[in-house]
Amino acid sequence: MQIHEYDVVIVGAGGAGMRAALESSKRAHTAVLTKLYPTRSHTGAAQGGMCAALANVEEDNWEWHTFDTIKGGDYLVDQDAAEIMAKEAIDAVIDLENMGLPFNRTPEGKIDQRRFGGHTRNHGEAAVRRACYAADRTGHMILQTLYQNCIKQDVEFYNEFYVLDLLLDESEGEPRAAGVVAYELATGEIHVFSAKSVIFASGGFGKVFKTTSNAHTLTGDGMAIVYRKGLPLEDMEFYQFHPTGLAGLGVLLTEGARGEGGILRNESGERFMERYAPTIKDLAPRDMVSRAMLQEVREGRGAGPNKDYVYLDLTHLPAEQIEAKLPDITEFARTYLGVDPISELVPVFPTAHYAMGGIPTNNDTEVLRNNEDIVPGLYAAGECACVSVHGANRLGTNSLLDINVFGKRAGVAAAEYANNAKHAPLPEDPAKFVEDMVAKLRDGATGPSVTASGPNTGTDAGAEAEGTERIADIRKAMQETMDMNAQVYRTEETLTQALADIKELQERYTRATIQDKGQRYNTDLLEAIELGFLLELAELLVIGALNRKESRGGHAREDYQTRDDENFMSHTMAYRQPGETEIKLDTKPVIVTRYQPMERKY
């Protein structure tokens, strides 16, 4: 075991983590721990754009952006946070441009902007051009630009270091951050990082679902680590399903395709969104479009041999526009479905995409341990956090904005705190929890190691570990029940089924073992740990969804079809004390500043 000491430790090297690192490393001794190489982070998969009311191509202002964000989030957004995000969006885009990001340009050479779902002029009058973009690879450009600037600033990375535990010091009563424990993938060695400030920027947990736009590595690690310390998670039942995943695969096709003029059609070719959102049609927020697509399929208007998807139609757009503005998604459709969007309709269906909930923070990204109090020295930003700027449904492009605005705030706040604080003492045996977890999974096997089997012994090496539970089997069963029972539409019955399945899988997980017993690059172990995190978060999602007997934003209950502001206009806070099985649900008031809840029509 090695011990390291830093002022600030950042967990995760996607957009939020690296944006934080650029601020923090200027002010304090900073390390970034990441289970992937930074450029592999899923920020790079974001496509369509990042909204900011630059008004480069038409009239716009950040107050409209604030309103759209709140309405898009079905009034579960904390309005002061949304205001901060919309206001600081403008500087966030300019910062990125100044750092070198190659945005698409207007004929005058300014940053070009395009339309996106739910972003409107003057409180819903019509779609507005607000999304700054670089073709359909805006996330890729953001990730590259931030990484390039981290190189410029000589930011210290620990690549393929998998953080598995948060260290808290409670010697002075209330908990404060003391550091983290990480597992070095290359060697199997355990490292303790003592730090004054810890920032979690570890992303989402889309892999609880089978059909998802998320990377294999998006397993909610940071959220689960914090939750295991008895700290709350907020609004976990709110999960976004992006309307246009490639049918059957879930690979994302940007909403920017509809921003460029793309149209959703059912089997008969009808532009069905006209019926669901007469004003902004295909550019309605994602939750509404996803539900509309499911509705079409359920009522027999789906396309394809099994009538189980709808079409994204780009065929009326000029080929040059598609090639220039949407090159990557065009290639995805060609590669994975053999369909050419220039001349053919693309089969699409909703795909699990984004967690609105996560680690609760205040507007300075400080992590809350209840509705009022923070954990000094602990911060969270990006998808793993819940500020909450997305409420019950995030608007397209607001995630790239979130990581930049709140990533920057986290970096500044964590460094400033560290510069005025002392290192908290480490617990007596800081690595014990991680050592025990690793040992249990690695050594819990009944069968001998398969890696010792030597040269080519055939295809049944796994049989040696017979009688134990396989990680891949449990993961598959979890993903199937979540897709079946806790997806776009939910009922008491389906959620109860999902919960029963998850409980059973959690029990099977205690008997799970891995085949790879080695120290070196043990990705078998990594996947087993990730599954443990996912099972906890799947349970939380379902319990929150069961408890919320209303429909709001991304949470649609068929047995409670309307929004119920009287009983449910509040955030869910879920807690579980270490070692206990019972999950306690509490509520937190939504912060309302100037927008009273209204009916959500588009």
Span 222-261, contacts to other proteins by CB under 8 A? 251-252
Structure token digits, residue 282: 């295909």
> In sequence order, which residues have a C-beta less than 8 Å from that of residue 466 and are 6 or more positions away?
447
- CA distance to 141, 167, 168, 180, 444, per residue, from 426 (Å): 39, 7, 8, 10, 29
DSSP secondary structure letters along 250-293 = --B--THHHHTT-EEE-TT---THHHH-TTTGGGS-HHHHHHHH
Considering only residues 267 through 296, tell me which ones interact with other proteins, judged by CB under 8 A. 267, 269
Nearest distance, CB of residue 210 and other proteins, angstroms:
13
Among 1, 3, 151, 598, binds other proteins (CB under 8 A): 151
Is residue 333 a contact point for other proteins (CB under 8 A)?
A: no
Distance CA 41, CA 392 (A): 25
Among 86, 348, 426, 471, binds other proteins (CB under 8 A): 471
The one segment of 149-157, 169-177, 433-441, 574-582 that binds other proteins by CB under 8 A: 149-157
Nearest to 277 by CA among 287, 268, 269, 267: 287
Is residue 186 a contact point for other proteins (CB under 8 A)?
A: yes
Distance CA 364, CA 20 (A): 12
Among 2, 523, 562, 567, binds other proteins (CB under 8 A): 523
The one segment of 226-234, 286-294, 515-523, 591-599 that binds other proteins by CB under 8 A: 515-523
With respect to other proteins, which residue has the nearer C-beta, 219 or 361? 219
Is residue 582 a contact point for other proteins (CB under 8 A)?
A: no
How long a stretch of residues is the chain? Answer: 602
Is residue 450 a contact point for other proteins (CB under 8 A)?
A: yes
Q: 3-class DSSP state for residue 210?
A: coil
Considering only residues 350 through 409, tell me which ones interact with other proteins, judged by CB under 8 A. none
Nearest distance, CB of residue 219 and other proteins, angstroms:
11
Distance CA 358, CA 203 (A): 9
Distance CA 180, CA 6 (A): 11
Among 316, 420, 581, 599, binds other proteins (CB under 8 A): 316
With respect to other proteins, which residue has the nearer C-beta, 42 or 229? 42
Residue 40 falls in the annotated catalytic set: no
With respect to other proteins, which residue has the nearer C-beta, 5 or 267? 267
Is residue 415 a contact point for other proteins (CB under 8 A)?
A: no
Is residue 311 a contact point for other proteins (CB under 8 A)?
A: yes
Q: How many residues bind other proteins (CB under 8 A)?
A: 87
Is residue 313 a contact point for other proteins (CB under 8 A)?
A: yes
Distance CA 383, CA 403 (A): 8
Considering only residues 2 through 41, tell me which ones interact with other proteins, judged by CB under 8 A. 36-37, 39-41
The answer to whether residues 280 and 271 touch, using CB atoms and an 8 Å cutoff, is no
The answer to whether residues 486 and 496 touch, using CB atoms and an 8 Å cutoff, is no
Is residue 317 a contact point for other proteins (CB under 8 A)?
A: no
Is residue 458 a contact point for other proteins (CB under 8 A)?
A: yes
Distance CA 325, CA 137 (A): 9
Is residue 467 a contact point for other proteins (CB under 8 A)?
A: no
With respect to other proteins, which residue has the nearer C-beta, 157 or 417? 157
Catalytic one of 19, 286, 394, 552: 286
- CA distance to 89, 291, 444, 534, per residue, from 474 (Å): 41, 29, 16, 11
Q: Write out the catalytic residue numbers.
A: 286
